[in-house]
Amino acid sequence: MKEKLYFILSMIIFGAVGVFAKYIELSSSEIALFLSLIGGLFLLVVFVWTKQKVSWRKVKKNAVALIMASAALSGNWIFLFQAYKETTIANAALSYYFAPVLVIFLSPIVLKEKLSLKKVACVGIALLGLFFILQSGKVEEAGHHLLGIGYGLVAAGFYAGLTLVNKFIRDLKGLTNTLLQLALSTAMLLPFVLFTNGFGFFTMARDSIVLMLVLGIFHGGVGFYLFFSSMKGLKGQSIAVLSYIDPLTSLLISALIVGERMTSQQLLGAFLLLGSTWISEGRNKKKGLGENRKSA
């Protein structure tokens, strides 16, 4: 029960990231940098407090995958935060949640997994859902919605890459893996921000500083800690279903707190996109559980 509560809280925290990132007076790359830095420092405190140790032999063994994953994480955050700035929270969240579909599509190539006919159908339904979301972006008046949706899709591509690369990381605990990736992400983003936008953290309004600190501590630190702390105690099927709290939280915050309206086309697109992924993941987890029972 504790693990399920931790996972639900982590999904709510992840789903609320848009309302913070949208109103922080920093560039997307700066937000990504400070998120990595603050979240990494928080997890470092947890790491030291719990007296965990790092096996540098295992780190060296996974060095290439860790660097690739950290680069994907950095790109993921930069484009996701830019999506939130260019379009509505709902559009950004829905286009970003196209990532699971990309993972399904790329798995046969990268992981040599078999692509079933049902998975192909789910990808097709998800693409139809994305089409309706893109159509809604054309008729809305405010902002650069199509550009924001495009940024969200690029972020989804980076997140899919992050997911696939992490499949090749072996023998590293969740907290250690996350801490290393946040540290490497900070190291990559620091020179990028320095030579592009520079640092605007100390010239920000007080409200933006508070939002950035909350985003770094709760999303980069607490959210990731709760997420990895809950993974071992939950079944795959539970994780697949509970993951939908993330985009649903974004949609609720978009409508109820920020006051953004969703068109009927957006709602249809959201239903098709989220529903297709749920069917694909849910059926796969059930199949895996059934095979586990047979082997028991």
Domain boundaries, the chain: 2-295
Ranked by mean pLDDT, the top range of 141-145, 206-210, 228-232 is 206-210
Q: What mean pLDDT do residues 192-205 have?
A: 75
242 or 293: which carries more pLDDT confidence?
A: 242
Give me 207's structure tokens.
């409200």
Task: Return the closest-CA partner of residue 65 out of 157, 170, 160.
Answer: 170
Asked if the model's pLDDT at residue 141 lies above 60, the reply is no
Nearest to 70 by CA among 178, 174, 173: 178
Q: What is the mean pLDDT of the chain?
A: 78
Residue 72 identity (one-letter amino acid): A
Give the model's confidence band at 202: pLDDT under 50 very low, under 70 low, under 90 confident, else very high. low
Q: What is residue 292's predicted lDDT score, i.e. its pLDDT?
A: 38
Share of the chain above pLDDT 70, in %: 80
The residues, any chain, with a CB within 8 Å of residue 152's CB and separated by 6 or more, are 79, 80, 83, 87, 91, 92, 93, 94, 95, 96, 98
Q: Per-residue pLDDT for 138 more than 60?
A: no
The Cα 118–Cα 127 span in angstroms is 14
Q: Is the pLDDT of residue 70 over 90?
A: yes
Higher pLDDT, 195 or 201: 195
pLDDT given at position 232: 61
> Given CA atoms 232, 236, 238, 240 in this order, what sign does their dihedral have?
positive
pTM of the model: 0.79
What integer is the mean pLDDT of 95-116?
A: 75
Give Cβ neighbours of residue 37 (< 8 Å, ≥ 6 apart). 186, 216
State the average pLDDT over residues 57-86: 92
> If you average pLDDT over residues 24-46, what whole number do you get?
90
Q: What angle do CA 214, 19, 127 make, to 5 degrees?
A: 130
The radius of gyration computed from the CA coordinates of the chain, to the nearest angstrom, equals: 19
123 contacts 101 by C-beta, under 8 angstroms: yes
In order of 76, 167, 200, the CA distances from 23 in angstroms are 19, 34, 14
Confidence grade of residue 240 (pLDDT, cut at 50, 70, 90) = low
Residue 188: strand, helix, or coil: helix
Q: At 182, which helix (H) or strand (E)?
A: helix 174-196
Token pair recorded at residue 279: 């069917």
pLDDT band at 139 (very low <50, low <70, confident <90, very high): very low
Q: Which of 171-185, 187-201, 241-255 has the lowest mean pLDDT?
A: 241-255
Amino acid at 5: L
The answer on pLDDT for 97 being more than 90 is no
Q: Which of 1-10, 252-261, 281-290 has the highest mean pLDDT?
A: 1-10
Residue 236: pLDDT band (50, 70, 90) is: low
The reported pLDDT for the residue numbered 182 is 92
Residue 109 CA neighbour count, 13 Å, CB half: 9
DSSP labels, 1-42 = -HHHHHHHHHHHHHHTHHHHHTT-SS-HHHHHHHHHHHHHHH
Band (277; pLDDT cuts 50, 70, 90): low
